[in-house]
Amino acid sequence: MPRILIVDDEHLIVDSLTYSLRQEGFEVKAVEDGQSALAIVPEFHPDVIVLDIMLPDINGREVCRRLRSFSTVPVIMLTARSDEIDRVLGLEVGADDYLVKPFSFRELLARIQAILRRVALDQQIDTSKLIQAGPLQLDIVARRVFKDDQEIQVSAREFDLLTILMTNMGQAMSRSNLINKVWGIDWVGETRTLDVHIRWLRLKIEADPASPKFIRTVRGYGYRFAGAEELE
């Protein structure tokens, strides 16, 4: 039974989501502040976290930032504002998806199911060996990334995106293909989400993010991970 953690201090929303998600077969826990969320994650082991930005103690972006120091659990961030800056900031601290309030339960359910399908597909990837690309090493089983034997902290979406790019090393991949593989074919968000994740991956793995060696832009098409001969 998939486990969902709801972090929101609006009791009407929490009660409604808890009831509806349980009707769909999920195990649900709810907390109303960020500190409680960070404390419960290690013991509850949620499969997805639904996290509101506006919380009574620390805001959702800070919760997500701290969460990423010890967990890669997928996070769907809720915001009452439709400003692009809110959405981008949420993605930059490691959120995997976002919804603007008010939203329908069916829309949230679709996002949760898309994330769970992606995780299930991840588990089907051949895990017989590590993926090596120059100084970069990807451990699919442990979901860890290393550069020059130093571990790099990445979000769940960043890891999935890097996995797709590295397993197709040297191959140009279209923006739509990357979005379908990482976010799911039913993704209804903005394509800028992909660019944000690419930018943050470059900041973490590239010596010079402005002149990337690993993740190359294919203008008018998408991105590709450098081929073996380019990394020699």
Report the run of H or E that residue 9 belongs to, with start and end: none
Q: Which residues contact 223 (CB under 8 A, 6 or more apart)?
A: 165, 172, 173, 175, 178, 198, 215, 216, 217
Q: What integer pLDDT is reported at residue 121 of this predicted model?
A: 66
pTM of the model: 0.60
Q: What integer pLDDT is reported at residue 82 of this predicted model?
A: 59
Mutual angle of helices 84-92 and 60-67, in 10-degree steps: 20
Is residue 63 within 8 Å of 30, Cβ to Cβ?
no
Q: Where do the structural domains in the chain lie, given as residue ranges?
A: 3-122, 131-231
Q: What integer pLDDT is reported at residue 226 of this predicted model?
A: 92
Which CATH architecture best describes the domain 3-122?
Answer: 3-Layer(aba) Sandwich (3.40)
Report the run of H or E that residue 101 belongs to, with start and end: none
Per-residue pLDDT of the chain (232 residues; tens, 9 = 90+): 899 999 999 999 999 999 999 999 999 999 999 999 999 999 999 999 999 998 999 999 899 889 988 888 899 989 876 555 455 555 667 788 888 888 899 999 998 998 888 777 666 655 456 888 889 999 887 888 999 888 998 888 899 899 999 988 999 999 888 988 887 755 555 667 889 899 999 999 999 999 999 999 999 999 999 987 787 6
Q: What integer pLDDT is reported at residue 129 of this predicted model?
A: 66
Tell me, which fold does domain 131-231 have in CATH? Arc Repressor Mutant, subunit A (1.10.10)
